[in-house]
Chain A
Amino acid sequence: MKPMPDKVPTPSDLLIDVQDLKVSFQTDEGLITPVDGVTFQVRKGKTLGIVGESGSGKSVSTRAMVKLLPKNAIVNPDSKILFYGNGNGTCVDINRLKANSPEIRRIRGGEIAMIFQEPMASFSPVYTIGNQIVEAIRQHRASGMSPLASTATVGSQIMESVQAQKKMKRNDARDLAVEMLDRVGIANPGMRVDQYPHELSGGMRQRAMIAVALSTHPKMLIADEPTTALDVTIQAQIIELIRDLQKELNMSVIFITHDMGLIARVADVVAVMYLGVIVERGRTDDLINDPKHPYTRGLLDAIPRLDRLDRRLTPVAGDIPSPLERPPGCPFHPRCPERRANLCDREMPGRTQMENNRFVRCFLYA
């Protein structure tokens, strides 16, 4: 099966272009392929939402984008991860960079930052919050990236140190860390900077994690289920914070979640993943108002809506199969209410292009 070429937006406003990404793992039970030919783009300053159940390959694909996969992972060498946000404006294929090379490390954390689901586990318990922010700042100030000057004070400090072409002084980095903590809405940042992760509340830890990620002024933030472990009220605050900072820094965001309701609030474009494949992609409004793929419809039917209180909530039947028992044909067919015998269980449907740069992978629309 050859991937169909997408209508590519003009490269001038593209930040990252992932083409036919395939990731496999060598395990004791055999070769598994959690990401099987994924293609998507993220534009500058925009948010891509990736939705899917656990095991759909959403985290693996984003980790592959910064080469953060374990040693037993194999990324297909033909896959392309084109990053247009490189410091000097050139385009770089991240997939061709060597793991742990200085180039990838400069991009990782410097240009593309990540936050994770578990703020407690993302911090090492034995170092202070400040220590881990300062570490990130000093790492990337040393490599002489060109920062997006936004906050005046932060920007000027960065410019100074770039001119000096050496590591930022520890004290200056600390001041910057305090400023970042203040910026993400942590009260009393001067005290918090010297505290350990276990001394902070869950919401504060996630704010601190955002502070670490954004302290280097990245062009892109990958948020891997950043609010799943938090209370609903705190969840809303964190999302508000990410959106504010995104606007302020003109940053792109990839927002990964399994929560269809959440994605409607944050994303410009949504990609729905199932068993390592994007089954449907389109602008958020289009996709929410007129879901095409039976899986997308299933996900939307599973969330409660205020305007349709009379409706019964229907969960998607069945469980996501393990990657070892990948069904033949369309991966969703065993759970699909509209499957067609002798077709869906034999052949993988191709991409059907629709208006507004939308596509769906289903024989219903082929």
Chain B
Amino acid sequence: MTAEQTIDGIFEPESEDRSKIDKKLKYYTASQWQLVWWRFRKHRVAMIGALVLITMAIMGIFANFIAPCKITTRDRSYIMGAPQMPKFWDHKGFSFRPFIHGIKTKRDPVTLRKLAVVDPETRRYIRFFVTGDKYKMWGLIPSSIHLYGLEKGILHLFGTDELGRDLFTRTLFATGTSLSIGVLGVLTAFVLALIIGGIAGYAGGMMDYLIQRITEIVRVVPVIPLYMGLAAAFPKEWSNTQVYFAMTMIFGLIGWPTLARRIRGHLLGQRGEDFVLAAELSGASAGRIITRHLLPSFTSYIIVDLIISFPYMILSETALSFIGLGLRPPSVSWGILLQDAQNIRAIEQAPWFFIPAIFVVVAVLAFTILGDGLRDAADPYSVTQG
């Protein structure tokens, strides 16, 4: 407003700070994405959410490199072992290089079972960029360099499971699997929703009615029992890769109605606007109107919708794998790791089996606050905050 007044000469420029006017001009001429970014940057919590998710994605993508061993590597000397914390300090003094104490195997005098006992006299130093198990990065680049390792043995940051497998390694790979199922599921749902919701919202009429009915029916059946029903149909002889893709397909197939409904709502709301009529009058095709005029006007909302639907995908995957209807061992996902925690006796003896659960909660929380932050930012001209 002030900028306009200056141009009209009603308001003398000297009465307002020049830089303030420049700032305002910048604000009023900024593109929508710039405005979204400016507002989003101010949203501290949402920024943290984004950082957490980026960290998790990196952990998943570079799991091979970060992990000290393979997901199947068994450390027979440290079965159901507690998490090991790197130390800089013990009774022998200070060390710049972090270390852990060694493990001795003892037999329980009564039960004669093998027990792993910490030996405070030995130190095992941690080294970085060590050579270890061979792997192929993303199935392509052969390597054997790992981020960290002990001089002897394996450092178990999250402890080990009943077979002595490193829980940190397994959690890293599980993070990759679970997040990627979420991404693929959301993308499948999005493509379907865009096509179906776009048709319904733009064409209206019979098509719209039909899609509304289908949406209603899919929405009325409880989601996880429905997933379970479809997952139960996977043939037992399917490979894990097949199950993996089948699951993303299911999530996409059942996830689209909610998204389609929103896209349809956006389209219906905008369809009556004058700029659409103007485009129609100047001879633009329906496809062009949808892609060039309608969709860009709410891209930011669609992105928010996509982000918000992530948590449901992740939770569904975790739930299905948890009860044994989703992915199956030996693949790992958060749900599969949590299967170990189903047993009361196991979690009583090894509470660290809950660590993957923390990842689930943090991921869902991060997606939720990121979605909330983006939703606030997506409406750049709204003045109300909080």
Known: A334-B11, A334-B15. A318 touches B5 (CB 8 A): yes
Q: How far is the CB of B150 from chain A (nearest CB, A)?
A: 53
Asked if B385 and A318 sit within 8 Å, CB to CB, the answer is: no
Chain A residues near B11 (CB-CB < 8 A) = 318, 334
Q: How far is the CB of B42 from chain A (nearest CB, A)?
A: 12
Asked if B386 and A318 sit within 8 Å, CB to CB, the answer is: no
Asked if A28 and B10 sit within 8 Å, CB to CB, the answer is: no
Asked if B5 and A28 sit within 8 Å, CB to CB, the answer is: no
Chain A residues near B385 (CB-CB < 8 A) = 28
Chain B residues near A307 (CB-CB < 8 A) = none
The yes or no answer to A317 lying at the interface (CB within 8 A) is yes
Smallest Cβ-Cβ distance to A317: which chain B residue: B10
- Across the interface, B386 reaches (CB within 8 A) one of A28, A317, A334, namely A28
In the assembled complex, the Cα of A334 lies from the Cα of B11 at a distance in Å of: 7
In the assembled complex, the Cα of A318 lies from the Cα of B11 at a distance in Å of: 9
In the assembled complex, the Cα of A335 lies from the Cα of B12 at a distance in Å of: 11
Chain A residues near B2 (CB-CB < 8 A) = 325
- Across the interface, B1 reaches (CB within 8 A) one of A317, A319, A335, namely A319
Smallest Cβ-Cβ distance to B16: which chain A residue: A325
In the assembled complex, the Cα of A345 lies from the Cα of B385 at a distance in Å of: 33
Chain A interface mostly: loop
Smallest Cβ-Cβ distance to B386: which chain A residue: A28
In the assembled complex, the Cα of A28 lies from the Cα of B42 at a distance in Å of: 15
**Complex interface bits, B35-64 against A, C-beta within 8 A gives 1, otherwise 0:** 000000000000000000000000000000
Most B C-beta atoms less than 10 A away, residue of A318, A325, A345: A318
**Complex interface bits, B342-386 against A, C-beta within 8 A gives 1, otherwise 0:** 000000000000000000000000000000000000000000011
Q: How far is the CB of B43 from chain A (nearest CB, A)?
A: 15
In the assembled complex, the Cα of A260 lies from the Cα of B2 at a distance in Å of: 27
Chain A residues near B5 (CB-CB < 8 A) = 318-319
Q: How far is the CB of A357 from chain B (nearest CB, A)?
A: 35
Within A290-324, the residues touching B (CB, 8 Å) are 317-319
In the assembled complex, the Cα of A314 lies from the Cα of B5 at a distance in Å of: 18
Chain B residues near A318 (CB-CB < 8 A) = 5, 10-11
Smallest Cβ-Cβ distance to B1: which chain A residue: A319
Smallest Cβ-Cβ distance to B12: which chain A residue: A334
Q: How far is the CB of A317 from chain B (nearest CB, A)?
A: 6
In the assembled complex, the Cα of A325 lies from the Cα of B385 at a distance in Å of: 19
Chain B residues near A335 (CB-CB < 8 A) = 10
Within B10-30, the residues touching A (CB, 8 Å) are 10-11, 15
Chain A residues near B15 (CB-CB < 8 A) = 334, 345
In the assembled complex, the Cα of A317 lies from the Cα of B2 at a distance in Å of: 13
**Complex interface bits, A127-155 against B, C-beta within 8 A gives 1, otherwise 0:** 00000000000000000000000000000
In the assembled complex, the Cα of A317 lies from the Cα of B10 at a distance in Å of: 8
Within A316-366, the residues touching B (CB, 8 Å) are 317-319, 325, 334-335, 345
Smallest Cβ-Cβ distance to B384: which chain A residue: A28
In the assembled complex, the Cα of A181 lies from the Cα of B2 at a distance in Å of: 49
In the assembled complex, the Cα of A319 lies from the Cα of B8 at a distance in Å of: 12
Smallest Cβ-Cβ distance to B5: which chain A residue: A318
Within A15-52, the residues touching B (CB, 8 Å) are 28
In the assembled complex, the Cα of A334 lies from the Cα of B10 at a distance in Å of: 8
Chain B residues near A325 (CB-CB < 8 A) = 2
In the assembled complex, the Cα of A334 lies from the Cα of B15 at a distance in Å of: 10
Within A173-231, the residues touching B (CB, 8 Å) are none
In the assembled complex, the Cα of A132 lies from the Cα of B287 at a distance in Å of: 52
In the assembled complex, the Cα of A266 lies from the Cα of B1 at a distance in Å of: 35
Q: How far is the CB of B326 from chain A (nearest CB, A)?
A: 46
Q: How far is the CB of B384 from chain A (nearest CB, A)?
A: 10
Chain B residues near A345 (CB-CB < 8 A) = 15
In the assembled complex, the Cα of A300 lies from the Cα of B385 at a distance in Å of: 38
Chain B residues near A317 (CB-CB < 8 A) = 10
Smallest Cβ-Cβ distance to B10: which chain A residue: A318
Smallest Cβ-Cβ distance to B385: which chain A residue: A28
In the assembled complex, the Cα of A215 lies from the Cα of B147 at a distance in Å of: 81
Chain A residues near B386 (CB-CB < 8 A) = 28
**Complex interface bits, B270-297 against A, C-beta within 8 A gives 1, otherwise 0:** 0000000000000000000000000000
Q: How far is the CB of B111 from chain A (nearest CB, A)?
A: 66
Q: How far is the CB of B57 from chain A (nearest CB, A)?
A: 34
In the assembled complex, the Cα of A325 lies from the Cα of B21 at a distance in Å of: 13
Smallest Cβ-Cβ distance to B11: which chain A residue: A334
Within B117-165, the residues touching A (CB, 8 Å) are none
Within B54-110, the residues touching A (CB, 8 Å) are none
Q: How far is the CB of B381 from chain A (nearest CB, A)?
A: 16
Smallest Cβ-Cβ distance to A322: which chain B residue: B1
In the assembled complex, the Cα of A325 lies from the Cα of B2 at a distance in Å of: 10
Q: How far is the CB of A135 from chain B (nearest CB, A)?
A: 31
In the assembled complex, the Cα of A345 lies from the Cα of B11 at a distance in Å of: 12
Q: How far is the CB of B372 from chain A (nearest CB, A)?
A: 18
Smallest Cβ-Cβ distance to B2: which chain A residue: A325
Q: How far is the CB of B24 from chain A (nearest CB, A)?
A: 11
Q: How far is the CB of A137 from chain B (nearest CB, A)?
A: 37
Smallest Cβ-Cβ distance to A334: which chain B residue: B11
Chain B residues near A319 (CB-CB < 8 A) = 1, 5
12 additional contacts, CB 8 Å, given A28-B385, A318-B11? A28-B386, A317-B10, A318-B5, A318-B10, A319-B1, A319-B5, A325-B2, A334-B10, A334-B11, A334-B15, A335-B10, A345-B15
9 closest A-B pairs by CB: A318-B10, A317-B10, A334-B11, A319-B1, A318-B5, A28-B385, A28-B386, A334-B15, A318-B11
Residues of B within 8 A of A (CB): 1-2, 5, 10-11, 15, 385-386
Residues of A within 8 A of B (CB): 28, 317-319, 325, 334-335, 345
Q: Please, could you name 14 A-B residue pairs with CB atoms under 8 Å apart, sorted by A?
A: A28-B385, A28-B386, A317-B10, A318-B5, A318-B10, A318-B11, A319-B1, A319-B5, A325-B2, A334-B10, A334-B11, A334-B15, A335-B10, A345-B15
